[in-house]
Structure 1
Amino acid sequence: MDSSDNPLVIELGQLRRGDVSLVGGKNSSLGEMISQLGTAGIPVPRGFATTSHAYWQYLEANHLREAIAALVADWQCRRSTLAETGQAVRSLFLHGRWPADQEQAIRTAYRELSRRAGTKNLHVAVRSSASAEDLPDASFAGQQETYLNVSGEEALLDACRRCFASLFTDRAMNYRQARGFDPLGIALSVGVQQMVRSDAVGGAAGVMFTLDTESGFDQMVLINAAWGLGENVVQGTVDPDEYHLFKPLLARDPLRPIIKKARGSKEIKMVYGDPATTPTRNVPTSRAERDAWVLSDEEILTLGRWGCIVERHYGCPMDLEWARDGESGQLWVVQARPETVHSQRQDAASSFKTFQVKRRGRVLAKGVSVGDAAVSGRVCLIETAHDIDRFVPGSVLVTKATDPDWVPIMKQATALITDHGGRTSHAAIVSRELGLPAVVGAGNATYVLHTGRDVTVSCAEGDVGFIYDGLADISTQVVDLASLPPSRATGVMVNLANPAAAYRWWRLPVDGIGLARMEFVVANSIQIHPMALVHFEHLKDADAKQQIARLTVGYDHKPDYFVDKLAQAFAALCAVFYPKPAIIRMSDFKTNEYARLIGGEAFEPHEENPMIGFRGASRYYSPRYREGFALECRAIKRLRETMGFTNAIVMIPFCRTVHEAERVLEVMRDNGLVRGDAGLQVYMMCEIPSNVILASAFTRYFDGFSIGSNDLTQLTLGIDRDSDELADLFAEQDEAVLWMIRQAIAVARQKGCKIGICGQGPSDHPEFAQFLVEAGISSISVTPDSFFAVKKRVVACEEALSRQTALSGETDAAHYHLVDIHEAA
């Protein structure tokens, strides 16, 4: 090693993250992890780096500074094109000669690295690391070259020379010009690391973020994984597996808080080719590789814990790359850098913006959503980078995948749609940085969309992005979170059903989830009737059996599919506001709705009036569904005990009698869910007149109630809520319904039970919210888009009630409400 004050080569383990000017952001970060986090169990392949001194010495020894300056000046004065200039500058580097001391330093370092690995001519990765990488207002990532599977001293020297030259790729020169950087003011370091054989059979690689890349939710880890080398994941040419973990529970062994597992198609993988001609190449994956998870649960948990360690050390959310050696099976962290998109959003913590898409057309395509916005525009289909000059500024860019060459027109696009790529692909990363709504991995977008077609691109509906036909109506709302005053006695919660959209609401100052409907998850994520999974081998419907086999690939025991999917879906919901309560209502499909699930017709009776038929609690102990309810219980047990989400509360719907309550709790106990064990609370939907009439008796079996005002109104007034003829009579504020609600609240308060409401009434009718607050309800749960309005109403009601009580000395403030309601009527 060079021992002067200006070293030409330095071992990575001697570097710190403050050495950016010496070896660039990439290499300084690798050195930081090797030197500071090795004892914490973070494995990073060892290597060495050339320094910025080596770069400047190479320029001086070959008299390149003046020649480059002249070529760049010609380009800036438009006497030559960008392509001509870039090619000429790179040629100067490639034909340069190594200074003797620098060449010897590289050879010596490489020999020592090979000796430590116990081999001669070790295969290494040669990566560029610019001295200005990862600045707060500029990112040079992906602009310079990487060379993999390099072996031998001559090949290494050639790769280092090519890395130097890549500082003057066309896109890098154009980027520096646009940002006002001196073309000769940035140096380049070359990092040389022992190769991780992720190309070997069983090898894999991917990307990891220590937050949700779309919402900025900072309590989760996101991992993307694919077979082979990691470049395909970064470039977006493969649809990877995706895994989510919940950080607060990761350190609590033996909990396993994997809150999402989504299998990607993984149709190709990148492997090593001929180092002299094609260092890497893509080959098709086997059917077994496509159907298999890339990472085991243990590996997912290990990577997640490593991500948390790195994040704590750096003190900020991180963007990491990892690889698994196919020969040894060992996992490695091969790169780490601070996440820059959400950390730069100064207004994210103080304001909240939502988009709503109304009067939209049919779905044309869908994929992974990037961002949370929605826009309408006209499609401009560009199939290859050779045709980017045809792009019409302000259009919706549609293409197969992007790389850095596409950035100039991405900046001019209204939205982006790609066939390939995942959440950590180039298209997703750059779109995020640009604030560009994007749907990546849509699969067939370039097939079904054509230039000139009007579409709406919606990333405002969760982690699935939709492309709708035509120009929809898009409305936005911006709320100052800091302006929301706290409520005193009445909690304001939200109704959440869609796990895919859960993270977008994490900044809301809510008091928990007041209603999470199991049937939404079953219908949209699982799609299969649970009894069809239990009795899969005996199904007679061949088409249903084929659909189930396709959806449950990888599950030899079909019921496990139901349990896994249900537990993960509710884990995503419970995580958003953890440790605040999340009330999960067990399944409440009607028989006609259950029959529409895959395989459902064989297990459901025909009913003339399913609304008041075989639904809710009556199913749980019935021989017709008891095995299905057992799967629901298994999922909740896994959610609470295996994953650790003890904030989950179970709620029983449509429980008609006290005896039925006893039977349901008994069946739950048989399936490992015992009220009171590990703090398990069980609530009941208060939606049948018998629930109110016998409320005192029901409190012996339940810890709380949630008023279902729709069904309670329907059954109190004897009105079919779906009847057009009786629509004018259906009113949640009818005096009989108000009496029912007031009575239920009074009994619950007397017995020390919590009681809330989870209907839309408080959102639509301010006077109804006032009535609930004055009656003493514990909480009001509404849809997220109604939260701000209801929160303000509740606070105003509490303040008015407080003033009224203070002036009059009355303790029964509900008395005043009856006058208000009668006057309003």
Structure 2
Amino acid sequence: MPTDPQVIPFDDLRKEDIPLVGGKNASLGEMVQALGAKGIYVPPGFATTADAFRKFMDENNLTEVIATVLADQQAGKISLRKAGEKIRTAIIAGDWPASTENEIRQAYRELSKRVGQTELSVAVRSSATAEDLPDASFAGQQETFLNVSGEDALLVACRKCYASLFTDRAISYRSMKGFDQLGVALSIGVQQMVRSDLGGSGVMFSIDTESGFDKVVLINAAWGLGENVVQGTVTPDEFQVYKPFLSQKGLRPIIEKKLGAKEVKLIYASRGDGGPTRNVPTSKAERAKFVLSDDEVLSLARQATIIEDHYGQPMDMEWAKDGITGQLFIVQARPETVQSRITGNSLKTFRIGRHGPVVSTGLSVGEQIATGRVCLIESAEDIDKFVDGSVLVTSTTDPDWTPVMKRASAIVTDRGGRTSHAAIVSRELGVPAIVGCGDATHVLYDQQEVTVSCAEGDTGHVYDGYAEFSVEELDLGQVPRTTTKVMLNLANPATATRWWRLPADGVGLARMEFVISNSIRVHPMALLNFANLEDQNDRQEIEALTRGYDDKAEYFVDRLALGISRIAAVAYPNPMILRLSDFKTNEYADLLGGRQFEPAEANPMIGWRGASRYYDPAYRDGFRLECRAIRRLREEIGFNNVLVMVPFCRTPEEADRVLEVMAEEGLVRGKNGLEIYVMCEVPSNVILAEEFAKRFDGFSIGSNDLTQLTLGIDRDSEKLAMLFDERHDAVQWMIRTVIEKAHAFDTKVGLCGQAPSNYPDFARTLVEFGIDSISVTPDSFFKVRKHVSDAELALSDRF
């Protein structure tokens, strides 16, 4: 190697070489040297140095040219577009210094020889010396050239890489970040192409990109070369993996699988197609199939954790799967620059209020809400028409759009996933975005007043008109400690990670019904008896929902286990109490295929619901599917913090029958630490509390139903609303009595309901009764914790 090399193989680079070869190339060298033995596969390659860039600039007198052009642009003499065009043209027209050209040619020959090919196909990527810093991602600021073959073509691509340092978006971004335009040098990474054109590729983060939840790996995947995922050209598959369980033998901790549309794929172009790559439509089979198998998802997630551990910080990585060999490669790794930089003890929450009809939906980016008038722009050529403060609506974005994205109140795109350019940049700018809508440019119109809501979980909503919404900032540093556990009520898996920073003692109530009605949508008996399903419309919808599942019952088990796992992940290692399905017959009938299996009841509120269904031959097989999902959740995914709760259990004899069915499905009280609770919502639960305590590990008081049945009041009756009071002496007697009886058997008692949030005196009463835990909605957590703390202090002062 020369004394001052202008080209260095990845094998000789380390992460300390950023000033020499930029962030991307230094990171590739670091992984080759330090992580290859740990199973991180990086395609071989080499990097040109920053000195090579400066030598090229000096020998072509380009520094002076650039300085003059940028001065004219800043003075308003020429536009940004003209300035960038003049600079790029000058760079591309430059000549290579003889020594630089020789080293690039020689390195390319040696790389081709190393892999046994005459003219190796390579990827040519930029790596700026100010890139991938903790305070700037420079996401996609420079160009990438794929499927470059031959020495001459490589030298042309390298010049274009240099020129891309001065694209309009790159100039604008450096100006916004305060970087010296002439103080950034460019290194070029030349890397063997992975045949992902025949396989798949994508992006992954070792942190949740929306909430900052640091215990998951997020993976996006699409068919073909990876530029489509990065640029947001397609809506990719999405996977989430729970990191803490990856090292535990036998566990498969995938907690989310979402099938993307994957509309097109980028492949190698044939001769005469006008370029080295081209986009082609994906087949129906490709759109209906996940790009990665579960084993491949877990393999990538393990690689993400190895890389994160090595760098000591959350990472943003690109991966590719060779379609010939099946090998998974890491082709880039850089620090994550948004969520990992959020510090402080405050949590800002947005809550949607009254709103107009939904006009479009997609994947939410960020957790904010914004209003504005639509500015619909189809092409980057028209971005000068953007009106500051508008909601930018377009098909997709690339780095050319960055100058206007930072002036938008919100961003909405037809295509793209959570790792697309639009998503990455909007996070960095703090602008809410909804990506992958599919129809936004068709259903929204210019100047339309809309609300963009990313505060309702994974799905973002565009509402017609300006909605009402509120913003609250919670101080996490002001949460008092309490002896009484304060837990959360969570139902929606999509919003669960929003609350991971709350210092809660676990999840006291997770409702299975939400996952069934929103994610599964099908009656379990309709899946088990699909061949005999009478409603043809329901049959068609079920066929569409269950595509990819040979066994339709497996669809129910898999989707239920995945949905609940996202709530369990937020709670872990604290307990999550999962209530078994508690639909009423009219609610079950509303599920697809449900009317064929549900009776019409005059009073479903006190009808065939809860425990009475689980052992009944008419539903028992459906309940078995629930049990199998819970067993998978605990034993295969790994969330043994999940406890099970039986709702509306009227008698001890009924409890025995339910526990028997559960045991037949492997859910045995005490086995593998399984605890089983019962809801206390029927007076018989209090009257026979000693008998229930012998059969269960805990009671959870459902204060609404218990009040309703104790006082004989329909809680939905407007006429009787003034009589419905959970603080009534009769209800308090019930609560105090069940706590006393349960504690005599060392059985725990909790309460899930809104009353402790609304009434400080009720929280104080529960503490005085000796309640073990109170479970409330996340927005009430701070208030209730304060009420409980005050009650505990008052109680201690009394004694």
TM-score bucket (shorter structure) = over 0.9
Aligned partner of 2:415 among 399, 403, 420: 420
Match status 1:205 vs 2:201: yes
Q: Distance in 1 between matches of 2:753 and 2:175?
A: 57
Match status 1:438 vs 2:447: no
Residue in structure 1 matched with residue 262 of structure 2 by the alignment: 266
Q: Distance in 2 between matches of 1:92 and 1:453?
A: 43
Letter in 2 for 1:288: A
Shift of residue 374 of structure 1?
A: 1.0
Aligned partner of 1:579 among 573, 579, 601: 573
Residue in structure 1 matched with residue 652 of structure 2 by the alignment: 658
Residue in structure 1 matched with residue 502 of structure 2 by the alignment: 508
SS of the counterpart of 2:374? Answer: strand
Shift of residue 469 of structure 1?
A: 1.8
Provide the TM-score with structure 2 as the length reference. Answer: 0.98
Match status 1:388 vs 2:388: no
Shift of residue 274 of structure 1?
A: 4.7
Match status 1:763 vs 2:762: no
Residue in structure 2 matched with residue 82 of structure 1 by the alignment: 80
Q: Does the 8 A contact of 2:139 with 2:425 survive in 1?
A: no
Residue in structure 1 matched with residue 326 of structure 2 by the alignment: 329
Q: Distance in 2 between matches of 1:180 and 1:318?
A: 24
Shift of residue 366 of structure 1?
A: 1.0
Residue in structure 2 matched with residue 144 of structure 1 by the alignment: 142
Residue in structure 2 matched with residue 95 of structure 1 by the alignment: 93
Q: How does 1:332-351 map to 2 (within 5 A)?
A: 332-347=329-344, 350-351=345-346
Q: Distance in 1 between matches of 2:37 and 2:94?
A: 41
SS of the counterpart of 1:354? Answer: strand
Cα gap change, 1:180/1:696 in structure 2, threshold over 3 Å: closer, same or farther? Answer: closer
Aligned partner of 1:61 among 59, 62, 65: 59
Residue in structure 2 matched with residue 633 of structure 1 by the alignment: 627
Match status 1:797 vs 2:795: no
SS of the counterpart of 2:260? Answer: coil
TM-superposition CA deviations, 1:538-588 (whole Å, max 9, x none): 111111100100111101100001001100111100000200000000011
SS of the counterpart of 1:424? Answer: coil
Aligned partner of 2:394 among 377, 399, 405: 399
SS of the counterpart of 1:321? Answer: strand
Shift of residue 154 of structure 1?
A: 0.9
TM-superposition CA deviations, 1:682-702 (whole Å, max 9, x none): 000011011000000111110
Cα gap change, 1:15/1:275 in structure 2, threshold over 3 Å: closer, same or farther? Answer: farther
TM-superposition CA deviations, 1:527-548 (whole Å, max 9, x none): 0000000011111111110010
Match status 1:127 vs 2:121: no
Aligned partner of 1:752 among 728, 746, 754: 746
TM-superposition CA deviations, 1:687-735 (whole Å, max 9, x none): 1011000000111110000001111111111111122222222111111
Aligned partner of 1:366 among 352, 361, 369: 361
Shift of residue 749 of structure 1?
A: 1.2
Q: Distance in 2 between matches of 1:179 and 1:679?
A: 53
Q: Distance in 2 between matches of 1:85 and 1:714?
A: 73
Residue in structure 1 matched with residue 43 of structure 2 by the alignment: 45
Residue in structure 2 matched with residue 773 of structure 1 by the alignment: 767
Shift of residue 52 of structure 1?
A: 0.8
Q: Distance in 2 between matches of 1:456 and 1:722?
A: 32
Match status 1:696 vs 2:690: yes
Residue in structure 2 matched with residue 116 of structure 1 by the alignment: 114
Q: Distance in 2 between matches of 1:353 and 1:84?
A: 42
Residue in structure 2 matched with residue 220 of structure 1 by the alignment: 216
Q: Does the 8 A contact of 1:149 with 1:275 survive in 2?
A: no
Q: Distance in 2 between matches of 1:179 and 1:507?
A: 29
Residue in structure 2 matched with residue 817 of structure 1 by the alignment: none
Q: Distance in 1 between matches of 2:791 and 2:51?
A: 69
Q: Does the 8 A contact of 2:489 with 2:509 survive in 1?
A: yes
Shift of residue 87 of structure 1?
A: 2.3
398-407 vs 421-430, which moves further: 398-407
TM-superposition CA deviations, 1:655-702 (whole Å, max 9, x none): 111111111110001111111110000000011011000000111110
Residue in structure 2 matched with residue 711 of structure 1 by the alignment: 705
The share of aligned pairs that are identical, in percent, is 62
TM-superposition CA deviations, 1:245-288 (whole Å, max 9, x none): 00111110110000000000111111121578322211100100
TM-superposition CA deviations, 1:165-195 (whole Å, max 9, x none): 2112222223333444333221111110000
Q: Distance in 2 between matches of 1:250 and 1:139?
A: 28
Residue in structure 2 matched with residue 291 of structure 1 by the alignment: 288
Q: Does the 8 A contact of 2:677 with 2:698 survive in 1?
A: yes
Residue in structure 2 matched with residue 232 of structure 1 by the alignment: 228
Number of equivalences:
798
Q: Which runs of 5+ in 2 are unaligned?
A: none
Q: How does 1:485-500 map to 2 (within 5 A)?
A: 485-488=480-483, 490-500=484-494
SS of the counterpart of 2:560? Answer: helix
Q: How does 1:9-24 map to 2 (within 5 A)?
A: 9-24=7-22
Q: Distance in 1 between matches of 2:443 and 2:397?
A: 19
Shift of residue 442 of structure 1?
A: 1.2
Q: Distance in 2 between matches of 1:666 and 1:556?
A: 29
SS of the counterpart of 2:298? Answer: helix
Residue in structure 2 matched with residue 820 of structure 1 by the alignment: none
Q: Which runs of 5+ in 1 are unaligned?
A: 806-825
Q: Distance in 2 between matches of 1:354 and 1:81?
A: 40
Q: Distance in 2 between matches of 1:517 and 1:440?
A: 29
TM-superposition CA deviations, 1:91-148 (whole Å, max 9, x none): 2222222222211111111111111101100111111111110223333331111111
Letter in 1 for 2:189: G
Q: Does the 8 A contact of 2:449 with 2:465 survive in 1?
A: yes
SS of the counterpart of 2:286? Answer: helix
Q: How does 1:143-222 map to 2 (within 5 A)?
A: 143-200=141-198, 203-222=199-218
Letter in 1 for 2:473: V
646-655 vs 463-472, which moves further: 463-472
Q: Does the 8 A contact of 2:486 with 2:505 survive in 1?
A: yes
Q: List structure 1 segments (4+ residues) > 6 angstroms apart after TM superposition.
A: none
SS of the counterpart of 2:16? Answer: coil
Residue in structure 1 matched with residue 239 of structure 2 by the alignment: 243
Shift of residue 343 of structure 1?
A: 2.3
Shift of residue 158 of structure 1?
A: 1.2
Match status 1:723 vs 2:717: yes
Aligned partner of 2:585 among 591, 599, 611: 591
Shift of residue 84 of structure 1?
A: 2.8
SS of the counterpart of 1:292? Answer: coil
Letter in 1 for 2:773: S
338-347 vs 579-588, which moves further: 338-347
Q: Does the 8 A contact of 2:133 with 2:335 survive in 1?
A: no
Shift of residue 293 of structure 1?
A: 0.8
TM-superposition CA deviations, 1:302-338 (whole Å, max 9, x none): 0000000000000000000000011111100000001
Residue in structure 2 matched with residue 470 of structure 1 by the alignment: 465
Q: Distance in 1 between matches of 2:628 and 2:311?
A: 39
Q: Does the 8 A contact of 2:614 with 2:620 survive in 1?
A: yes
Match status 1:301 vs 2:295: no
Q: Distance in 1 between matches of 2:151 and 2:107?
A: 10
Q: Does the 8 A contact of 1:150 with 1:275 survive in 2?
A: no
CA RMSD in angstroms, aligned pairs only: 1.2
722-731 vs 635-644, which moves further: 722-731
Q: Distance in 1 between matches of 2:375 and 2:143?
A: 30
Q: Does the 8 A contact of 1:487 with 1:794 survive in 2?
A: yes
Shift of residue 448 of structure 1?
A: 1.2
Shift of residue 74 of structure 1?
A: 3.0
TM-superposition CA deviations, 1:342-375 (whole Å, max 9, x none): 122222xx11111111111221111111111112
Q: Distance in 2 between matches of 1:799 and 1:772?
A: 14
Cα gap change, 1:275/1:767 in structure 2, threshold over 3 Å: closer, same or farther? Answer: farther
Aligned partner of 1:550 among 544, 554, 558: 544
SS of the counterpart of 2:66? Answer: helix
Q: Distance in 1 between matches of 2:717 and 2:85?
A: 74
Q: Distance in 2 between matches of 1:716 and 1:79?
A: 81
